[in-house]
Structure formats: structure tokens, C-alpha cells
Amino acid sequence: MFEYFYNEILRRTIIAFGTLFNGISVKQTNSTIRVPLAYGPTQKFLARLEQTPDLNKSTAITLPRMSFEFTGLTYDPSRKVTTTQTFTVKNPTDGKDSRKAFMPVPYNMQFELAIMCKLNDDALQITEQILPYFQPAYNLTVELVESIKEKRDIPVILENVTMQDDYEGDFESRRVLLYTLRFTAKTYLFGPVSDATKDIIKKSTVTYISGDSKSVARDVSYTVTPRAIKNYTGVVLTNLSENIGLSDTVFPLDDASKIPAIPSSGKLFLELGGEEIQVVSKDSDSITVKRGQDGTTAISHLKGAEVKSITSADNVLIEEGDDFGFDGSMEGFL
């Protein structure tokens, strides 16, 4: 069941979240200061401040500064999809090989962004540069799976804002204004990405044997090759120019020239609204077909319906469990 894979989705989402806040600056009397951003728990930076309270020490952490931290991960049932459903994409490197992955699982990632300042005006400047972008969500585009170039819009939701003013001890103690912003990023976790053609049986041969243990004879060999009965590539050849009834076998088309020539095997299949049809002949503006092929059901079609191709490119994209058709041959032996 379990195999090693690492898509770096959580890492990529954390990095993308941090990049939202790495360009914030504050203006003071004579200068503009870019606010540094680091990954880590707020307590770590506060402890450092308490250990070096002298404002004139060069080793003290300068304020203002920001830190963010990934604090939690929860499943999101409201975005659940069928766990066994898969989708297929072309290999982004060469555009030829196909790769298949199961639909992603929705998870919510919780983040905390801490704004630490000495001056209240600095904290207000930073906060005001952030809040207008979250109403309460901001869509962040992240490339979640590099191998298939899968990009998703990740909504980042601002949940709440809290403020804390720590001022204890005498006037020489360092004052820390702490604003904490809590966010939820609605990301997706993908499983392993596999070669889409690995799970497809290219050819299967069954041999029927007769006779006893002393004289075994091979009577018949039956060979089959999986063939798609629907369009997987999304290629649309043309559209219907008229409505089609259940018993019609002549299909008027907008452009019949886009229908390929019937091969020597005499088998040219098309898909129309989930119905597989076999082209018998082609004219200048229509095709004559056989309806409801390979167990599909003949249905009515409206004008403008898309006529899709079924080619060898669709054969390699057959989904596991698909009730596809077969072409085969029988070979007899004496």
C-alpha cells in the first residue's frame, strides 16, 4: 500500500505563505526600514529580547521584525472528492508520456504571523499593509507537484488578529508590542504520480487447451487489445448542425471534412455525449454511423453537440476499471 514519495507540498506551501510578507517596510522620521521576516516560534525571539534588554547592545534583536510558524494541519471534509478518482496529464518535459495521479486530499494548514515592535506606530504601519488584502481570503497560486506542473489556487484566510503589549519592570526594560495574526491555508495533498500507461494491459492472450496429460493439444488462441470507448484527450473534431433523434443514423455536421478517413480496418469510432458511434461512411456535410457501440446507449443529441475523436492517444489513457471495448483475433489450431 505505502510507497516512498515526496512532493514537497507542505514545504512549498510554507514557503509561499512566507513570501507574502517579505516585502513590508515601515517609515520612521529619517528613514525607511524593511521589516525582516524569519521562520520560527515567537517565543524564541521574545526570549532573545529578554536576555538582551540593553537597547544599545549590537547583539540585541532589532525591532520591528516579523516571524511566522506552521502550527497545525487538519483534514477539510467540506472539500472532499472521490478518493478513487484519478486524473491524467501529459508529461510537461516532453508532452508525450502521460502521467496519472489520484485526486488530491484537502487539508487546512494553520499559520501564525507575529509582528514584534517597540513603537506602536510601526506595528500599525505593518498591520495596515497586510489586512486590506484579506477579505478575509487571499488566493495564493502554488505549484504543488513539480513533476506534473500542477498549480492550484490556495485560499489563505485571515482568522483573527490579537494584540499584546508587554511592559513590565522599570523604564530600562525593553518594551515589546506583539501583534499575532492567525491564518488558514486551504491546500491539497497529492499522492504518488505514476506513469499512466503502466496500469494499462496492452495485450492479453488466452489459450484453450484440450487433451489428457499424455497428449495435450492447443485448440484456440484468443488475443485482445484494450481500446478506449470514450474520448480522454479532449479533442473535438466538429459539432452537430442539427438535432439527432434516437433512431437517426445520419449525422449532419458543421464541418464533416474534419472527420478522419475510415481506415482499412473499417473501424472509425467517435464519441458524442457519452455515446460511442462507428462511422460507416462520410459525405461532404454528414456521416452515416452505427449507434450505441461497445455497450454504450444511443441517446438524443442537440444541435451544437461536440463530436470527439477516439484514437490511439485515448487508448493509453484508459482509466482503471473502465468498461472499454476490445478488438481481437481468433487463431485455430489442429
Using CA atoms, how far apart are residues 223 and 245, in angstroms rounded to an integer?
36
- 316 and 268 share one domain: yes
Is 105 within a domain? yes
Q: Are strands 25-27 and 65-75 parallel, antiparallel or unpaired?
A: unpaired
Residue 313, CA atoms < 13 Å, CB-side half-sphere: 14
Phi, psi of 219 (to 5 degrees): -90, -55
Contact 314, 236 (CB under 8 A): no
The cell for 161 is 488578529
Question: Which among 173, 195, 217 is the end of a domain?
Answer: 195
pTM above 0.75, yes or no: no
- 65 and 181 share one domain: yes
Using CA atoms, how far apart are residues 273 and 268, in angstroms rounded to an integer?
17
- 312 and 231 share one domain: yes
The cell for 15 is 514557503
Contact 114, 18 (CB under 8 A): no
Domain count, the chain: 2
- 161 and 231 share one domain: no
- 299 and 231 share one domain: yes
215: left (phi over 0), alpha (psi -120 to 50) or beta: beta
Amino acid identity, residue 79?
R
- 79 and 127 share one domain: yes
- 131 and 244 share one domain: no
Question: At 126, which CATH number?
Answer: 3.30.2000.40
Using CA atoms, how far apart are residues 172 and 199, in angstroms rounded to an integer?
71
- 138 and 56 share one domain: yes
- 75 and 26 share one domain: yes
- 172 and 243 share one domain: no
Per-residue pLDDT of the chain (334 residues; tens, 9 = 90+): 567 888 889 999 999 999 999 889 999 888 888 998 988 887 776 676 666 555 444 434 578 889 999 999 999 999 887 665 666 666 666 656 666 777 888 999 999 999 988 888 899 999 999 999 998 899 999 988 887 788 889 999 999 999 987 665 555 555 678 899 999 999 999 888 766 555 545 555 555 566 565 555 555 655 556 678 888 888 899 999 999 999 899 999 999 888 988 888 778 999 998 899 999 998 888 999 999 998 888 999 999 999 999 987 777 676 655 544 545 444 444 3
Is 77 within a domain? yes
Contact 193, 104 (CB under 8 A): no
Is 333 within a domain? no
Range(s) of the domain holding residue 26: 9-195
CB atoms within 10 A of CB 205: 10
Task: Name the strand (E) or helix (H) holding 328.
Answer: strand 325-332
- 176 and 231 share one domain: no
- 26 and 107 share one domain: yes
